[in-house]
Amino acid sequence: MKLLTLNTHSWQEDKQLEKLDIVAQAIIEQECDVIALQEVNQHQDSLLADANILSNHPVLADNYGYLLQKKLAELGHHYQLTWDFVHQSYEVYQEGLAFLTRLPILEHEVIDLSDNYDVSFWKHRRAVRIKVASQQGELDFYNCHCGWWNDSDSPFEDQIKRITATLSTGLSFLLGDFNNPSHIRNEGYDYLLQSGLIDCYEIAEKKDTGATVIKNIDGWQQNNQALRIDLVLSNQLVAVKQHQAIFNDDFYPIVSDHFGVLVEVEVA
């Protein structure tokens, strides 16, 4: 099974329609089964999309996830789409989380990661869980775009507690932008591991450096080093055949201010 996560940076990217074509090409060529996308935006004044999409909010015609699904369909590949509104961003955009999967979706759940949820406050976060049917049985996937470790407005520790509280006894994967570098000790990354989660990078048979951010970007304006903040985690030990950065100019062209992560797992 192949899993992909990417913070798309959506309509803040130049030439995004060309980059969307690159993402679609990679999904098809790499035969991705489940794709988790963060910062999936739509302009608040766009027309309603003519589609049946699992969502907590109306999906509009310029929704990045919707356009990607359409592109995949045009190329002969059917992926079911979910898109859920998280908060307003850059004044005119509605930002959300999207899943694309070619596996049947059995359940879809939106998880508020903040009390007194306010969609106008950009630090308020949500996670999305889907349950899918696979040949190996039912699996849960979480799409996560978390905050920073010491953020008093929306603490990372509290966000992870809310996510892990919903984990079942079955196999789950958490994919996304966790905004906590893996090399910093005694903060967010270590807290993920202390919460019983397993980093697929660490157990992969084949892997690269894992870096997904290499410069200063939104949220990391002072950064000047390579960071591994986009992760694929599991709640159980699995066989990870390969873990590699994608859309980094070595393996497909750059499409966002983040590189993506492509993981091949064997599910018993």
Architecture of domain 2-266: 4-Layer Sandwich (3.60)
Q: pLDDT band at 217, cuts 50/70/90?
A: low
Predicted pLDDT of residue 216: 67
- For the chain, give every domain's residue range: 2-266
Average pLDDT of every residue of the chain: 96
Mean predicted confidence (pLDDT) in 222-244: 94
pTM metric for this prediction:
0.96
Predicted pLDDT of residue 81: 98
Q: Is the per-residue pLDDT at 162 higher than 80?
A: yes
What is the C-alpha separation between 99 and 231, in angstroms, rounded? 15
Choose among 217, 245, 208, 215: nearest CA to 230. 245
Mean predicted confidence (pLDDT) in 87-110: 97
What is the C-alpha separation between 218 and 216, in angstroms, rounded? 7
pLDDT digits (tens, 9 = 90+) for 165-193: 999 999 999 999 999 999 999 999 999 99
Which residues lie closer than 8 Å to 33 by C-beta, 6 or more apart?
1, 2, 3, 101, 102, 103, 134
**Six-digit token string for 98:** 């999207």
